[in-house]
Structure 1
Amino acid sequence: MKTAVITLAHGRHAHLAGQQQALRASTLRPGDYVVVAMDDPAIAAPHPDVSGTVLRVDSAGGNLPLARARNLGAETALDRGAELLVFLDVDCLPAPDLLSGYEQAARDPAGAGRLLCGPVTYLDPPGTGGYDLSGLARLDNPHPARPAPEPGEVVPDENPDLFWSLSFAVTAETWQRIGGFCEDYTGYGGEDTDFARLARRSGVGLAWVGAARAYHQWHPTEDPPVQHVADIVRNANLFYERWGAWPMGGWLTAFRERGLIRGGTGAERCELADGITGPREPSAAVP
């Protein structure tokens, strides 16, 4: 089975280099490595030990085209012969057994034909020497909001709202069955939840793969992500128009409590509060 790793990048060059270093230490090397550089001409070709390519994508109206970039990465990998697509966030360091874990799960009756998701540990800031890749297993502490089976376990799941795009895998056949990400989403938030809804509509559930562990490299952030409030409002409205439900409920609640937005509950449209500016709303596509 030819496995391709697909990573989107905009900045985070040191994190991207760390990911490539971790892939070089993998027990199973990727058959291909597709880096999709969004508005970032400084991203160079992957390390020679990790065979792959870099694609260039421009933003749409200043908003990073995450959905379009994932689709382009997948289409390119498939054209290059990939049979299993592994999507890794640029911040994620794969454990040595991540790729082999996803491959085995794709053949396992509990995981075959499903979106395969692995547990992710959020790391503390590294020391001056960076992360010790040989010691990542000692830091294993998967995010509590998602299932985290033990290595060797593959656990089916039918809740699409638990899907996340930090680390997941899908066979070529299942990707084509789902049809990819909805490219009406731009900027941060919502497109991965939409993708999981498209999967469910296509009869594709989730499965959690204990062996496919990843480690999210630390970077400064805000909780809730107020720097992305305009993107989240725009994409939340798009999601509601497509599915009749509100995504990212915790973030929307936190934004309302801070006076940054109004609406986003029931049938009330989500809007930025007075004085908060953001890009215009996109039109919704019928799923």
Structure 2
Amino acid sequence: MNGPAVVTLVSAARLDHAQAQWARTAEIEGLRQVTVWLDEKSPPRLPGTVIHLPPGANGLRLAVGRNVGAQAAIDGGADLLVFLDADCLPGNNLIERYCTASREHSEAMLCGPVTYLPEEFVGTTPADLERATKPHSARPNPTDTRCELAPADDYRLFWSLSFAVTAPTWRRSGGFSELYEGYGGEDTDFAATLLERTIPLVWVGGAHAYHQYHPTQAPPWQHLDDIVRNASIFHSRWGSWPMEGWLNAFAKAGAIRFADGGWMRVT
């Protein structure tokens, strides 16, 4: 059976948010679900095709998880892969807009706008989400019926929170680099690969997703070691440094320093 499939990566820490997502996707007729469970322990009962992917030596394997989730969706007959972060609720027209855009731009990577919901937000009805719509200002937000082709400089804005791609274009992309484990870097690496392989990036108006609130740190101190390690992997592959804002913040606080051409922890 052809059609779209949603691929969601989830751990126990984000299970409640993912349950809210699945309550909405379950209402969409013909939409299949692929769920990748990232924790060491066996998963609880989860919707759709379930893949258990325990952590690697350096943390959760997000890049591998997206790759195995995509392959499972394709093996199940999906011709459009919709990747949604576990924290994200799909907007009222997200699947419809991605499907329409995929017919118009079958050789492109498709990205919709994301609204960060405030802590005080309650309710998940279509009207609730519509009233809350306020997409993150760092990324384009075309009108609801439009798609915009991203220039080369915009590839750095690619976000894995919400994106979609046809099965043939996913194969052409090669998927995410599986060198990355733990937090950070794999999105930017994937975007660099898309640009290198001349795969268009298209902003899809109306394909709204809504990121549910959870506490964060800025910079994310809990991920310091992951960020330093993954930034070094990215630099070795592409010759530039990702996540520079966070790296500079860690350095300003005295936690890391730049020496001999790379970042390292201060002991």
SS in 2 for 1:263: strand
Partner of 2:150: 157
| Conserved? CA contact 1:25–1:96, under 8 Å | no
Structure 1 unaligned segments of length 5 or more: list them.
Answer: 47-51, 275-287
SS in 2 for 1:208: strand
| Conserved? CA contact 2:58–2:226, under 8 Å | no
CA–CA distance in 2 between the matches of 1:236 and 1:120?
25
SS in 1 for 2:213: coil
Partner of 1:281: none
Percent of residue pairs bearing the same amino acid type: 46
Q: 2:77 matched to 1:81?
A: yes
Q: Could you state the TM-score of these two structures normalised by the residue count of structure 1? A: 0.87
Partner of 2:10: 9
Partner of 1:235: 230
| Conserved? CA contact 2:80–2:99, under 8 Å | yes
CA–CA distance in 1 between the matches of 2:155 and 2:24?
29
Structure 2 unaligned segments of length 5 or more: list them.
Answer: none
| Conserved? CA contact 2:60–2:181, under 8 Å | yes
Report how far residue 238 of structure 1 moved.
Answer: 0.2
CA–CA distance in 1 between the matches of 2:37 and 2:249?
31
Report how far residue 21 of structure 1 moved.
Answer: 1.3
Which one has a larger percent helix, Structure 1 or Structure 2?
Answer: 2
Q: 1:126 to 1:13 in 2, by over 3 A?
A: farther
Whichever residue aligns with residue 101 of structure 2, its letter is A
CA–CA distance in 2 between the matches of 1:148 and 1:131?
24
Task: Please list, as runs of the form range in 1=range in 2, the aligned pairs for 1:224-263 lying within 5 A after superposition.
Answer: 224-263=219-258
SS in 1 for 2:51: strand
Question: Which stretch has the larger CA shift, 84-93 or 153-162?
Answer: 153-162
Q: 1:237 to 1:62 in 2, by over 3 A?
A: closer
CA–CA distance in 1 between the matches of 2:67 and 2:198?
20
Partner of 1:194: 189
Q: Spell out structure 1 runs of 4+ moving beyond 3 A.
A: none
The CA RMSD measured in Å over matched residues stands at: 1.6
SS in 2 for 1:90: coil
Q: 2:120 matched to 1:118?
A: no
SS in 1 for 2:227: helix
Whichever residue aligns with residue 100 of structure 2, its letter is Q
| Conserved? CA contact 1:150–1:211, under 8 Å | yes
Partner of 1:92: 88
Number of aligned positions between the proteins: 261
SS in 2 for 1:270: strand
Deviations 1:228-275 (A, max 9, x none): 1100000000000000011112211221122221128xx72011222x
Partner of 2:37: 37
Report how far residue 133 of structure 1 moved.
Answer: 2.5
Partner of 1:146: 139
